[in-house]
Amino acid sequence: MKSTVDVETFFFHSVASSDVFERAIFRYGLAVFSVAIALGINLILLHFNFSYPLSTSFLLAIAITFWYAGTAPGILSVLLSFVAFALFVLPYQVDYRTVLPDGSTKPVYVSGVGASHIEYFVYFALVALLMSWFSSSRRRAEQSLSQARSDLETKVKERTAKLSMLNEELHGEIAERGHAEDALRESEEKYRGLIETSPDAIYVSDVVDGKCVMSNPVGAELAGCPEDQLIGTSIMDTYVPEERYLFQDRIQKLKTEGSLQFERKFVRRNGEVVPVEVSVSVLRGRYLQAVVRDISQRKRREALLAGENKVLEMVTKGESLANILDSLCLLVEEQSSDVLASILLMDPNGKQLRHGGAPNLPKTYTQAIDGAFNGPAVGSCGTAACRAEQVIVSDITTDPLWTDFRDLALTHSLRACWSTPIFSSEGKVIGTFAMYYREPRSPTSREQETIKHITHLAGVAIQRKLAEAARRESEAYLAEAQRLSHTGSWAWAPATGEIRYWSEETYRVLGFDQDDGPPRFEIFLQRLCSEDQERVRALFEKAIREKAEFETDYAIVHPSGATRNIHAVGHPVCDETGQLVEFVGTVIDVTENKRSEEALRASEQVARGQVEALTYSLDVLATAPAPDKFIGQMLSTIGRLLNAQSVTLWLFDQSTDSLVLRSMADDGKLAAPDP
């Protein structure tokens, strides 16, 4: 590669040197050639004695050389002209002419160089130098002019090329601009199509004055006016007065952030205020695009959810049913304007409706309808409870269901009433929820959703309270039953040794303080009599190991020192995997029963001894003469002792190997014996 470059470099220098050499030959050759021609012309003129100035041809040669060959060849032509003039012209130049006698003239040539010749040479040299300077200057001027022309032509070409390029670029830009405009028009059409079909309201406004320049149909519907009337109006008009100061702040944020999202209140043309979510972005630096979404439904659901949580919290905390139902009514009244809510409760007899909650209905009205009976034409609530279905009365003035209550309702300016039954989980009507209005109207789908939600919440709250009341009543009955029967209930977790639950009677039966809570299992065992502790512990361990029921008796010593006899029963409870979770059971104080049983056994033993003694006496008397009267008295006495209806005396007859009736006393009367 390097050798190739060297060869090319050598060839280039060789060609360049050759061109320089040829140009030098041409330039200096022109000097010699032009002087030679001038000399030849002078010699010819001298031969014919022509009076033409001899220096003219040399001066012309010098001028040509300077003009075409340059300064150095021009100087050479000057030198050569001097030499040629001095050697070949001057010696043959006629200095003067003599007139011969015959009247002819004879030329006299210059015989030497005199002062006149020197002056002539100086003159020639000055003229030659002047001509050379003029020629050089003229040539340089022409070269400069030619160079300038060449530079100008080059610049013109470059400028032309540049202009052509710019022209092509301009044509390209024009074409691109056309394509861009077409694309922009297409994009605008698509954008217009998108905003026209958007489910959200879209407004485009000027960033300077905030006036609307474009809107979609949804935006016009949200604003509450036709689209052509919306154009040119200020976005500020849709702000509530207390939030208008936020408009300029948001404009400043948009300039720095480029986009913004927030919630605000939107004022419609009719004055209605709607909660909206707004997403704003800057378009092309001078327009604002606002995507506005009506979030009324979402806000309503959030409010209902918050109200539901509040109601459930009130239920959990055990607040009164009246407060809970009032909160539900207030929740409805916050969601719908001009509504008065009411909740009635079904009486336990199932035939009447009682006041539950109605915080904003007139008290005189709620008192008048409290205790009204259900029926097929008893206003909206009584009819809804009777039919077990929703009853919508859009105009109380004309509806026949309100015949008996119309004057009462109109007196309190109530014109419409929608009532919906509240059902329990078993499908039983437990109350009604009503919405009253002071003008005739029918429910919208949104209001029907609210009614459905509120009746569900009311049903949950009412059922919970009814269940709590039933539970408290049941617990009271159970506690009383346990108190009367000296029976307590308990729950015990063997895995932790924790006694999870003791009823009130359990504390009394086992002699523990209820304020201290259930004791640990080991503390409970320590209360047992020492002779029962190990046996009961072993019984419990076996029950745990076998996951089996157990039943046992043990004695427990109360802090007062009294000993109580306890009968305990336990039942294992396992989870879905079969693992033992706890034991539940009962404890019964059987101390009095034990005492009664012991007294009964003692009494029976005494009576048995007495009977045996009497029986022995009868055996003796039976063999005595005329014993019937005495036997009868004895049998009657035995009957009284044993509280028996009848007493029979049988004798064993050895001869027949059988029993023979000897005597019998029935209700104290002696009966006849067997024959």
Between 595 and 37, the more confident residue is 37
Q: Is the pLDDT of residue 457 over 90?
A: no
DSSP 604: H
Where does a domain end: 154, 183, 206?
154
Task: Quote the pLDDT of residue 118.
Answer: 61
Among the ranges 279-293, 309-323, 447-461, which has the highest mean pLDDT value?
447-461
Residue 319 within any structural domain of the chain: yes
State the Cα torsion 392-398-404-408 to the nearest 10°. 90
User: What would the two tokens of residue 460 be?
Assistant: 């949950």
Domain CATH number, residue 582: 3.30.450.20
Residue 12 within any structural domain of the chain: no
Residue 595 within any structural domain of the chain: no
Q: Is the pLDDT of residue 245 over 80?
A: yes
Q: Domain check: are 318 and 437 in the same one?
A: yes
Q: Domain check: are 414 and 527 in the same one?
A: no
- For residue 11, what pLDDT band results from cuts at 50, 70 and 90? very low
pTM over 0.75: no
Cβ 381 vs Cβ 344: under 8 Å: yes
Between 664 and 208, the more confident residue is 208
Q: Is the pLDDT of residue 5 over 50?
A: no
- For residue 111, what pLDDT band results from cuts at 50, 70 and 90? very low
Task: Quote the pLDDT of residue 10.
Answer: 47
Q: Domain check: are 81 and 145 in the same one?
A: yes
Q: Domain check: are 432 and 453 in the same one?
A: yes
The mean predicted confidence, pLDDT, of the chain is 79
Residue range 532-569, pLDDT digits in tens? 999 999 998 999 999 999 999 999 988 888 888 889 99
- For residue 572, what pLDDT band results from cuts at 50, 70 and 90? very high
User: What would the two tokens of residue 340 be?
Assistant: 């008065």
Task: Quote the pLDDT of residue 508.
Answer: 86
Residue 342 within any structural domain of the chain: yes
Task: Quote the pLDDT of residue 418.
Answer: 95
Q: Is the pLDDT of residue 609 over 70?
A: no
Residue range 505-531, pLDDT digits in tens? 888 888 898 888 888 888 888 889 989
Residue 255 within any structural domain of the chain: yes
Where does a domain end: 555, 589, 623?
589
Q: Domain check: are 77 and 137 in the same one?
A: yes
Where does a domain end: 124, 154, 184?
154
Residue 189 within any structural domain of the chain: no
| CA atoms lying within 13 Å on the CB side of residue 119 | 3
CA angle, residues 10, 15, 21, in degrees to nearest 5: 125
Among the ranges 42-51, 182-191, 335-344, 433-442, which has the highest mean pLDDT value?
433-442
Residue range 128-137, pLDDT digits in tens? 666 666 666 7
In the chain, pLDDT over 90 holds for what percent of residues?
A: 19
Q: Domain check: are 141 and 284 in the same one?
A: no
Residue range 159-175, pLDDT digits in tens? 888 888 888 888 888 88
Q: Domain check: are 304 and 434 in the same one?
A: yes
Q: Domain check: are 508 and 385 in the same one?
A: no
Residue 652 within any structural domain of the chain: yes
Q: Is the pLDDT of residue 439 over 50?
A: yes
Q: Is the pLDDT of residue 271 over 80?
A: yes
Specify the number of domains making up the chain: 5
Between 124 and 38, the more confident residue is 38
Q: Domain check: are 227 and 88 in the same one?
A: no
Q: Is the pLDDT of residue 214 over 70?
A: yes
Using the CB atoms, write b or e for 112-127: b if 16+ within 10 Å.
eeeeeeeebbeebeee
CA-CA-CA-CA torsion sign (77, 82, 83, 88): positive
Q: Domain check: are 621 and 571 in the same one?
A: no
For residue 634, what are the domain limits? 604-671
The alpha helices in 198-236, defined as continuous H runs, are: 217-223, 227-230
Q: Is the pLDDT of residue 243 over 90?
A: no
Domain CATH number, residue 336: 3.30.450.40
Q: Is the pLDDT of residue 115 over 80?
A: no
Q: Domain check: are 466 and 497 in the same one?
A: no
Q: Domain check: are 446 and 314 in the same one?
A: yes
Residue 582 within any structural domain of the chain: yes
